[in-house]
Amino acid sequence: MKKFLLMLTMASATLAAEAGGLMTNTNYHIAFDRMFARGATTEIDAAYSNPAGLAWGHEGLQLSLNFQKPWQNRDIETDIPNFLMVGNNFHQKYNGKASAPIVPALFASYKQERWAVSTMIGIVGSGGFVKYDEGVPMFTVPITTMLAQKGVMPGTYAMDAQMEGKQYIYGGQLNFTYKLTDFLSAAVGMRANYYDGYNRGHVLANMGGTELVSLQLDCLQKGWGFAPIVSVDFHQGPLTVAARYEFRTKINTENDTKELSATVTGMTPAQVAAVFGEKTAPYMDGVKTRYDMPSLLTVAAQYEITPKLRAAAEYHFFDDKNAKMANNRQDELEHGTHEVLLGAEYDVNDKLTLSLGGQRTDYGLSDNYQTHTSFACDSYSLGCGAAVNLNERMRLNVSYFCTLYSDYKKEQTAYQGLPFTGSDTFSRTNHVIGLGIDYKF
């Protein structure tokens, strides 16, 4: 019983993720979705991916407005061969539906001769909602076991378990770019990040109108953080090589707790408080929790093979092990996140450009990092799309990308601390479509 409410409060941490690291998004502009390796671009999306590259971009003002729609499932399949020690085989798939509304991003830049100023506004971390209509096994299985030990067997009572949560990190970035030589430029910038999220859920067990267990949570979290950004770009002829470094964003969220309660039949309020007090303390009103965005190093190169064909390669390193997470979960990672990105685009004619790209993401996961409330899976992503020049000033971008995740199976000899062996298989799916408009004044 000691872990149940903590399980509930953490359950909404599993949220819609897009391309990028554990806490960081990298897909803001539709050009990324259709090509991925954009770290050496000199076009408008460089306002995020390569600010120094804008030294070779469009002279004057340009704007870009982008919209993406993601869909994702985050599922847990639980197997316990000898559940309740009576030979019952427990098998259930818990379906988590993560979604987000239309996700916008705005880019702007102004260049005059050797200098440029640019900005990007978007959802820079996490971003979305998740809902488990049947709860998650980390508390439904122990509660079922506890009731069975009291002689209340499955099928004789009704259990209502539901969790939902929201997690957005909004970001606004401002960059200043200067061309140092005919071949080298540099940029400095700053991003302000605002964390907005909530954890809501309940677990109710009833039999014949009698409430056996009631767990309730409604906790809002908000916080701010700032990250300096530096980048350099080398551009000569058909070759562009660039590097960017984002410093760690320290985000300390503060709880605004509307409800946090637990009642168990046969236990006095003092007994319940004695059992749950230590576990509920992190979610009391006013308590602060860390949700840092890790530092990020990107290195990229793009080469113009012919006047119509361009290819690019890129590497990302997210230093997740030095970014604070709730309950110091970063210590359980084997290493930070490594990503390799490849992309190419071809100008069919003056009006149409086709592109494709791929990305490999390795998070450095371990069994101790994976929980029912927050898990990740290594993946490959594939994207494609087109850019259509509607006229000399306006370009339309369209894209689609999907992520192919590797299932992660976690074996437990004492499942959730209970006296039987079990396993969880974590799986995910992800699809994103995008539409954007670039305009040059």
The pLDDT value recorded for residue 313 is: 98
Read off the CATH number of the domain in which 399 is found: 2.40.160.60
Residue 249: pLDDT band (50, 70, 90) is: very high
pLDDT digits (tens, 9 = 90+) for 150-195: 788 888 889 898 888 888 899 999 999 999 999 999 999 999 999 9
Residue 377: pLDDT band (50, 70, 90) is: very high
Could you give the number of structural domains in the chain? Answer: 1
pLDDT digits (tens, 9 = 90+) for 415-425: 888 888 899 99
The pLDDT value recorded for residue 278 is: 67
Q: What is the value of pTM for the model shown?
A: 0.89
- Its domain, for residue 44, covers 4-440
Mean pLDDT in residue range 377-406: 96
- Ranking 42-51, 135-144, 182-191, 238-247 by mean pLDDT, the lowest is 135-144
100 within 8 A of 58, measured Cβ to Cβ: no
The per-residue b/e assignment along 51-62, b for 16 or more CB within 10 angstroms, e otherwise, is bbbbbbbbeeeb
